[in-house]
Every structure is written in C-alpha cells, then in structure tokens.
Amino acid sequence: MSLRTALAWHRPLMIVGLACVALVPLGLVGMLVDPRVLLGAPIWLKPVKFAVSIAIFCVTWAWLYAQLRERRGRAPLAFAAGTVAAVALAIEMVVLVVQAGRGTTSHFNMTTPLDSTLWAVMGGSIVVAWLVTLWLTAALFGLRGLDPARSLAIRAGAVIALVGMALGFLMTGPTPDQLSDFQGIVGAHTVGPPDGGPGLAVVGWSTVGGDLRIPHFVGMHALQLLPLLLIGLELAAARVAVLADPRVRRDLVATATAGYAALLALLTWQALRGQPLLAPDAWTAAAFGVLVIGVVAGAVLALRRQAVPVSRSGRDGR
C-alpha cells in the first residue's frame, strides 16, 4: 500500500497523523539536547508520547472512515466529523509543544493567565474530539456486510476506546491538597501522592499511588487491540481448523471484548483507590484472578464449539 493510498482514506486525519509521526524524532532529539526535567521526567517526553498516541488515533480513524465510505458511499457528515477531530487534536498537540518549550506543564495548569488560557483551549479541544469521536463511533454501527467477528471487534473497540477517552475527565477535578492550598494547578494524574513522584519507565505511571492514566491509556487503545486480535485470528484460521468457523472467531472476540471491558473497570477501580498498578491489594488481585479465569473459560468454550454439519437431506432438498 502506498502513502498516496493511505492519504486518500481521510486526508485531514492522515495529515495530522503524519505530522505527529514527524514530531516523534524531533522530540527525541529534544530529549537529548535539552536537559530540562519537569515533574521528574524529561520535558520533551510528554510531547513525544502524545505524538505517538495521536498518530495512532488519526491513522486508525482514517482507515475506519475509508471502510465506512467503501460500504456506504459518500459520507460527508462522517468526513466532517473526522476533520473536526483532526483539527482538535492538532490544537492539543500545539499546546503541548508550546508549554514544553516554555518549560511548564500543559495539563491542569492555571498558574498564569496565559497558562489558564492554553489549558482552556486544550480542554475545549479534547471535549470536541470526544464528541465527534462519539458521532463517528455511532456511524460505525451503520456498517453492513462485515464478518460478524470483524464487525464486533471494530464496534466494541470503538465503544471501549470512547469510554477510555472519557476516563481522562476524571483527572480534571481538584485534589484535596489543591483545594486546601491552591498553587495554580487543578487536577492530577495520580490518586494519593502528588504528580511527579516515582513512576514506571517511559510511561511514568506512579509506582507509589493510583494513576488514572492507566485506564485512560488501556481504554483508548481497545480500538487497535481488539481489531488486531481479530486479524490474528483470521490469519491463524488458515492453519487452525477450528478458527475457520466464523462463529468461533465471533465468540473469541466476544470473550476478549468482555474481558477487556472488565479489565478497564478493574484498572479504574484500582486507580481510584490509590493503588499502584504493580502493588494491588488482595481484593484487586482476587478480582484480576476471577477475570483471568473467566476469559480462559470463555475462550475454551468458544474453541470447543463444533460447526453444525449440514445434513444430506439439507443439501439435496430431500
């Protein structure tokens, strides 16, 4: 597939996605030449992470729009929604880069009038992006003629991704410490300790408290992971006989969807209770164990499904 073909999926989304791809190496160079650190991380790390995430979002939705157009013909409202999403995400990326260049935070920052304005612009762009993504997700339910497993993977992935995006709004409320001693910051990624403490490498998720970025991240990328699972099943069907049955693939995708949704709920519950991802309490660990058992059992039941044979009389009409 050529770049020209990919650009034809949805040009505005693809342009923003490719611009974010180009920003990644620039941000990595910035991390090498700019020694500044913000909240315990290199100052250009956050723009790099967001550039990767936005690029994935844009390319995925551009491809989905192409599927929509292929099966439903011209879809001007869907194209317009994708264009609005592209502009909103571009605005968010610009604010991130500007604030990193200024040496300050982009999210939750109301320290100065300029910081407040930029945060308001970013927050507004995020809300707009979520609303048009909601519209695009609804449009996916109008797709017809897809394999049942593929249809489920795309629609469920989009819905869970929409929930994951919405979970980001949990970070925007003031913490008790911010209410008692306002220092210009309203909102936080971490539940319990303040932002900027010890965290996992690269992603920076807190290792001493809950972190709402975890369910936010996991939820958003259901849009890629569930369809990728489906593609893997389709490719494996050529070698694994049981996967050639479309009902088996559908049931496996349904099991994965239920497990993914339950995992997202569990991660959100864990984060809101102030627990680090890698240090769950007994209740969280037990819930995760039940989740794993349920997913495995569902997969086993799906794989044990046997295609209903067509009788001789059914074939020859007798």
The pLDDT score that the predictor gives to residue 18 is 96
In this structure, the answer to whether residues 203 and 93 fall within a common structural domain is: no
Q: Which two tokens stand for residue 270?
A: 């864990």
Show which of 123, 145, 167 is a domain's final residue. Answer: 145
Residue 312 forms part of a structural domain: no
The pLDDT score that the predictor gives to residue 311 is 45
Length of the chain: 318
In this structure, the answer to whether residues 226 and 295 fall within a common structural domain is: yes
Residue 316 forms part of a structural domain: no
Q: How far is CA 266 from CA 154, 204, 272, 286, 287, in A?
A: 22, 20, 10, 11, 8
Return mean pLDDT, the chain: 91
In this structure, the answer to whether residues 130 and 116 fall within a common structural domain is: yes
Show which of 81, 114, 145 is a domain's final residue. Answer: 145
Residue 313 forms part of a structural domain: no
Domain boundaries, position 50: 1-145
In this structure, the answer to whether residues 20 and 125 fall within a common structural domain is: yes
In this structure, the answer to whether residues 39 and 75 fall within a common structural domain is: yes
Q: What is the pLDDT of residues 75-97, one digit of tens each?
A: 788 899 999 999 999 999 999 99
In this structure, the answer to whether residues 107 and 63 fall within a common structural domain is: yes
In this structure, the answer to whether residues 1 and 136 fall within a common structural domain is: yes
Q: Could you give the angle at the alpha carbon of 144 between the alpha carbons of 139 and 146, nearest 5°?
A: 110
> Is residue 158 pLDDT above 90, yes or no?
yes
In this structure, the answer to whether residues 113 and 83 fall within a common structural domain is: yes
Q: What is the mean pLDDT of residues 112-136?
A: 95
Helices (H), the chain: 3-7, 11-33, 45-72, 76-102, 113-140, 148-167, 176-180, 213-220, 222-236, 246-272, 282-303, 312-316
Q: What is the pLDDT of residues 102-119, one digit of tens each?
A: 999 999 999 999 999 999
Residue 315 forms part of a structural domain: no
Q: In sequence order, what are the residues at sequence separation of 6 or more whose Cβ sits closer than 8 angstroms to the Cβ of residue 316? A: none
In this structure, the answer to whether residues 82 and 155 fall within a common structural domain is: no
In this structure, the answer to whether residues 208 and 140 fall within a common structural domain is: no
Residue 185 forms part of a structural domain: yes
Residue 89 forms part of a structural domain: yes
Q: What is the pLDDT of residues 25-80, one digit of tens each?
A: 999 999 999 999 998 889 999 999 999 999 999 999 999 998 888 776 667 888 99
In this structure, the answer to whether residues 76 and 88 fall within a common structural domain is: yes
Band of pLDDT at residue 310, cut at 50, 70 and 90: very low
Neighbours of 94 (CB within 10 A): 14
Using CA atoms, how far apart are residues 61 and 247, in angstroms rounded to an integer?
Answer: 27
Residue 314 forms part of a structural domain: no
Show which of 92, 113, 145 is a domain's final residue. Answer: 145
Q: How far is CA 201 from CA 26, 205, 208, 244, in A?
A: 20, 8, 14, 41
Q: Which two tokens stand for residue 82?
A: 């994708």
Domain count of the chain?
2
Provide the whole-model pTM.
Answer: 0.90
In this structure, the answer to whether residues 133 and 163 fall within a common structural domain is: no
Cα–Cα nearest to 233, from 221, 247, 219: 247
Cα 101 to chain centroid distance, Å, stands at 26
